[in-house]
Every structure is written in structure tokens, then in C-alpha cells.
Amino acid sequence: MLRVTFLGTGGALPTKTRNPSSIMLNRDGELLLFDCGEGAQQQMMRAKTGMMAISSIFITHFHADHVLGIPGLLQTLSFHGREEPLDIYGPMWIEDFTRLVIALGYCKLKFEVRAHVLIPGEAVEMDDYFIMTAKGIHSVPSLAYAFVEKPRPGRFDRDRAIELGVPVGPLFSKLHRGESVEIDGKVIHPEDVVGAPRAGRKIVYSGDTRPCAEIIELSRDADLLIHDATLAEDKLEWAKESLHSTAREAAEVAQEANVSRLILTHISSRYSDDPSVLLEEAKAVFENVEIASDLLELEIPFMDKN
Amino acid sequence: MLRVTFLGTGGALPTKTRNPSSIMLNRDGELLLFDCGEGAQQQMMRAKTGMMAISSIFITHFHADHVLGIPGLLQTLSFHGREEPLDIYGPMWIEDFTRLVIALGYCKLKFEVRAHVLIPGEAVEMDDYFIMTAKGIHSVPSLAYAFVEKPRPGRFDRDRAIELGVPVGPLFSKLHRGESVEIDGKVIHPEDVVGAPRAGRKIVYSGDTRPCAEIIELSRDADLLIHDATLAEDKLEWAKESLHSTAREAAEVAQEANVSRLILTHISSRYSDDPSVLLEEAKAVFENVEIASDLLELEIPFMDKN
């Protein structure tokens, strides 16, 4: 299971219906949080995403609308008795930021918060996925993140295995894991019964940024790209000045990167209730696009890209 | 006009329907904010209280659920172009806290934030009201606040003034302001035509606290007492340990202080959706009591107490 839940989809100013930025990723029960704007913990309650299983928080940059939910979230996790350490990743300043946040809380947390600075282009490797980063273009140091599953083994050809004389049972798993087996003196190799490795899923979140080559490269062939689309095309100059993207620019990134699906987020308060102009402008460039809304939930299926 | 709007009425853990603590007071358009839990700025939008006219923020204590909305609020005020200084009052640590909050924001505010430490028992005097403080009993230094209007001039007896020969016009105002006037060689004194000064309105907010004599004294004859009522009577031991009040204890404070009306707040998440047990236990002691709910709005009329 790979589920994306939008906890906050607004721009710098929250509105009645859009919280500041925050996105939850649920991979088979492990929760990864990308940005954590004010009110994110209540949105987790409303969306029923859970919060105790958050293993890591990834911060794109330190503007208020992306981070001010962290102190309250930490307090609540502590109240609920969390004891496992929590990893917080972000661009430089994440260590100072974490110290400030803990000082602000004015009470002792019952678990350790471990801050990690990430350099653009650096990856965080986990068991069967990794988080890749790229430099965004914003008014303060900013990272885009890609969640990338490691390739899964190819499909196991059960009929072919039986044909080759492999008895149904544990030897099937052994072959699927990549080990050869011997049956009556004959060696069966994994490639005889297992197809080519299948690509895992890939989700990219741009953070606040101008469109840029780094994020296009990061997004290559992604199943889902979540991109800054703060403004409409008639506000392009303001997008350039404030270092955000227009919806059309986000669509161009999606097209160039050959992603499967695009979700627009960080919607300026001026379009909060009616973002249709953003959708139209993006659709003219890239068809499979939607506007994020608070509590929107998406399941990301495996796609056969071969 | 004197209006109280409850922006957050939950306990330490917010719920889907109760934000952490925050109360807005609107006095003829001037806004005073008491505590500012996470999400308070969005609640101001939902309740349409406005936020640009906030002149002062009063913090009871520095637990996360009472203060984490401040950084986001300051950012939003700055985005909206606020230039007037903002005063923040609270117990000791308010200066360090304010510095932390500004550092956390990671961008420059366009207005000055002035932090003021208040000692329990100290008052802040404004033009025609003052804010009085008392020591609460909580696990960290904590203040209760009373908003107290200065007495208004007594009623002007128009008929009596005409009878005494005062011509209808500016001399009426002069007399009402407390100055004597001379009519055909005869001196008319204010006390001839103006009644006794009338008491202003008084609203008390306890913050998080055990019931205590200081807050009973602070609440004497208040029009409205807003008191911590975190728990029901069967959780009295836990209330003592966590230094909160039960609903019944809050009602006893209201009764002893002879207040007109009691609102219970800081409702523990366990009663968030159904606080009826709190209401029943309080009503057994003090009749004019209600449970606060998020976005509840009250108008406080003048009462003739003489």
C-alpha cells in the first residue's frame, strides 16, 4: 500500500479550507511526513492517517507555512507516549531549527529528535526505498524530495518452475530471492523462472520553487509529481519574484519529466475556493492533472513500465 | 460592544472539533487575544473576528497548547502589511519566548513585537480599561487575567438639567464629563444632574490552574468567568496531579467569587464530543454555567450592579 494524504494545500496564508503545506505518505503502515505546517496534527486526526507511526519528517525549507506544525506534533507524540527516536531531515539550519522547536515546547519530550542536514543531490537510504533530494529554487535554501522504491524482483513463473521440476514449496521463494537451486543434479537459475526486476514506485514533491532542471531530472518517469502551483499565468511576474511556479509551469515540468500524474499544490489564498483557472492552464499542457485539496487521499498503484 | 469569541477550547491535545486554547476579546473594535494555541489564525478566519486590530496578546503560560499559534499569527500579520507594534504580555520567559518565535519564523517581520513580563498581581493600564493579573497554580509559572473596564460616568438626568435652566447643548456634555457650569450667575454642579458612576464590565480568564484564592479574588463580581475545567469529578486526583481543575471546582470558584456567568474551557479530549458530565457537575454548584465550544461567541452587556 502506498497512500498520499494531503494535510495542507494552501500557500503562505492559510484559509478557512486550506491549511499550510503538509503531505503524509503511508507505505505499508510506515508514515513519512513531508513538511508540517501549522495545524498538521489536527489534519492527521481529521484524515485518520495516524501519527504515532511517523518514522521521518522531511522539510523542504524553513518558511513558517512549512514547519510551524512541528512543535505541536512533537508535543502530542510525547503525550501519547512515543519513545522511539524521530528523524527530521531538511536543508541546512535543520539542527538549529530543531533546537529552537524543542526550546519552544517548554517541556521535555519523552523521545529523541534527530536532526539531519541534507545537501541537494544527497539521498537517504532506507531498507527498501530511498529518499532522493534536489535543489529547488526559492528565496531560502530549499529541497525537493523523491520517494523511490527499490526495484522489486520480477514476476515468478510458477508454471515454468513446475515444468522444470521444481517442487512447489520453499525452493520457489529461494529462486524468487535470486538464488539458484539444484533438482536431481540439474541446476535451475533464477533467470530461468523469474522475470526482469520491476520498477518500484516514485513520488516527487517539489516544495516551493521556480520550475527548474534539477526537479525535472528528479521527477523523471515518476508515478506522481506534486508541484508548487501557487499562481495563475497572469501572475507570472509575481511568481518569478516570489520564487514560486504557475500552474502552467508545473505542467511543463510534468511533461518534460514524463511523469504519470501531476497534483498541483501550495494554492495561493486568492484561488483557495475556486482554483479552476489553475486547472485549466495546467490541463492545456499536461492532461493528467488535478488540484490538491485538504484531506485528498490517493492510492499509488504499481505500474508496469516495461 | 464587548464580545468574547472562543477560538480554541480543547485541552493539551487538540481534537477534530476543539483547537488548543485561545480566546479573542473585541472591545469596540480593538482586539485583545488571550493565549494563542496552534491554528488560532485559521479559527480567527472561521469566526470572522479579524486579526489586524489585535493590539495585545496575553499569555497565561508557556505550554505548547497555549502558545504555538503565535509564530504563524505574526507571519500572517506581517504578510498582510501590519506595521504597528504588537505587545505580548506573559509571565517570566516571555522575552526569551518572543525571541525564539521570531527566530523560528526565519523571515523578517515588518512590525515590532514588544514582550512584557508581568508579575502576578501587576496590572497593565490602558485608556479606559486595565488588565489585572493573579497567580495561577500550574506546573509552570502561570497567570490568570482580568479585563476590567474603568467605571463609566453615571446617567445624565436630562429633565433635571432643563429644570435647573441648563440649555440643551454642549453644557450637557460638560456636566456629564464632571465639570461645573454657570447659568445666570447660578453654579450647577455635576452631582446635581449626573448619577453615581456605573461599574464597567469585568471578564476573567483563569488559564490552566488548580482552583485558588488568588483567582477567586481576581474574579470577584465578574460579569464572566472563563475557567479551566479539564476533568470530571471522578478524575479529581488526576486534576490535582496535573494541576488543572474539575468542572465542579470551577463552579465553586464562580460561586465564591459571586460572578454572573461561568464558561468552562480547556476541555480534555476525553470529553471533547460529549462534555455533558462536566456541565452536570458544575450546574449542581452554580446554575449559570455553559461549556465553551470552538467559535462560540458571547456579547457581554452592561449590568446595573447598583
- Residue of B7, B9, B13, B243 for testing the chain A interface, max A β-carbons within 10 Å: B13
- Same domain (yes/no): B170, B278: no
Amino acid at A75: Q
What per-residue confidence (pLDDT) applies to A285? 98
Our answer to whether residue B65 is catalytic in this structure is yes
Query: In Å, how far is A101's CA from the nearest CA of chain B?
Result: 8
Nearest C-alpha in A relative to B79: A13
Of B133, B168, B193, the residue at which a domain comes to its end is B193
In a domain, B50, yes or no: yes
- Same domain (yes/no): B74, B29: yes
Nearest C-alpha in B relative to A105: B64
Beta bridge partners of A152: A198
Q: What is the pLDDT of residues B194-230, one digit of tens each?
A: 998 888 999 999 999 999 999 999 999 999 999 999 9
Q: Interface pTM (ipTM) of the complex? A: 0.87
Give how many domains chain A has, as a whole number: 2
| Mean predicted confidence (pLDDT) in B275-297 | 98
Measured CA distances, A38 to A8, A22, B38, B42 (Å): 9, 9, 6, 9
Q: Is B105 on the interface with A (CB under 8 A)?
A: yes
- The CA-based dihedral angle spanning residues B249, B252, B257, B259, taken in that order and rounded to the nearest 10 degrees: 100
- Same domain (yes/no): B174, B273: no
Q: What is the pLDDT of residues B160-175, one digit of tens each?
A: 999 999 999 999 999 9
For helices A94-105 and A70-79, angle between their N-to-C axes, nearest 10 degrees: 60
Do the Cβ atoms of A65 and B45 come within 8 Å?
A: no
Average pLDDT score over chain B: 95
Whole-number Å distance between alpha carbons of B56 and B216: 25
- Same domain (yes/no): A288, A186: no
Predicted TM-score (pTM) of this structure: 0.90
Short-list A137, A80, A130, CA closest to B269: A80
Q: Is B53 on the interface with A (CB under 8 A)?
A: no
Measured CA distances, A247 to A11, B8, B288 (Å): 13, 35, 54
- Same domain (yes/no): B139, B47: yes
Hey, what's the cell of A102? 524543542
Ramachandran class of A81: left when φ > 0, alpha when ψ lies in -120 to 50, beta otherwise: left
Does residue B305 register a pLDDT over 70?
no
- Same domain (yes/no): A179, A43: no
Q: Using DSSP bridges, classify how beta strands B86-90 and B181-183 pair: parallel, antiparallel or unpaired.
A: unpaired
Which of A68, A79, A107 lies nearest to residue B72, judging by beta carbons? A68
Ramachandran class of B93: left when φ > 0, alpha when ψ lies in -120 to 50, beta otherwise: left
In contact, A146 and A202? CB cutoff 8 Å: yes
| Mean predicted confidence (pLDDT) in B278-286 | 98
- Burial pattern A25-50, b for ≥16 Cβ within 10 A else e, equals bbbeeebbbbbbbbbbbbbbbebebe
What per-residue confidence (pLDDT) applies to B306? 45
In a domain, B287, yes or no: yes
In a domain, A305, yes or no: no
Do the Cβ atoms of A72 and B72 come within 8 Å?
A: no
- Same domain (yes/no): A115, A174: no
User: Looking at beta carbons, which residues of chain B come within 8 Å of A104?
Assistant: 64, 67-68, 97, 100-101, 104
Do the Cβ atoms of B68 and A65 come within 8 Å?
A: no
- Same domain (yes/no): A91, A175: no
- Same domain (yes/no): A148, A168: no
Q: Is A72 on the interface with B (CB under 8 A)?
A: yes
Which of B42, B71, B93 lies nearest to residue A16, judging by beta carbons? B42
What per-residue confidence (pLDDT) applies to A107? 73
User: Looking at beta carbons, which residues of chain A come within 8 Å of B12?
Assistant: 75, 79
pLDDT along chain A (306 residues), means of 10: 98 96 97 98 98 98 96 95 97 94 84 97 95 97 97 90 92 92 92 90 98 98 98 98 98 98 98 97 98 98 72
What per-residue confidence (pLDDT) applies to A306? 46
Query: In Å, how far is B130's CA from the nearest CA of chain A?
Result: 29
- Same domain (yes/no): B188, B217: no
Q: What is the pLDDT of residues B130-161, one digit of tens each?
A: 999 999 999 999 999 999 999 988 889 999 99
Do the Cβ atoms of B79 and A13 come within 8 Å?
A: yes
What per-residue confidence (pLDDT) applies to B109? 92
In a domain, A304, yes or no: no
Beta bridge partners of A267: A10
Which CATH number is B91's domain given? 3.60.15.10
Of B170, B193, B216, the residue at which a domain comes to its end is B193
Note down the domain range covering B9. 2-152+198-299
SS3 B224: strand
- Same domain (yes/no): A110, A246: yes
In a domain, B306, yes or no: no
Hey, what's the cell of B41? 489564525
Q: Is A99 on the interface with B (CB under 8 A)?
A: no
User: Looking at beta carbons, which residues of chain A come within 8 Å of B11?
Assistant: none
Q: Is A110 on the interface with B (CB under 8 A)?
A: no
Say which range, A255-264, B54-63, B104-113, B176-185, has the weakest mean pLDDT.
Answer: B104-113
Cβ-proximal residues to A274 (8 Å cutoff; 6+ apart), any chain? none
- Same domain (yes/no): A188, A254: no
Q: What is the pLDDT of residues B72-113, one digit of tens each?
A: 999 999 999 999 999 999 999 999 999 999 888 777 899 999
What per-residue confidence (pLDDT) applies to B103? 86
Measured CA distances, A71 to A147, B24, B172 (Å): 24, 23, 58
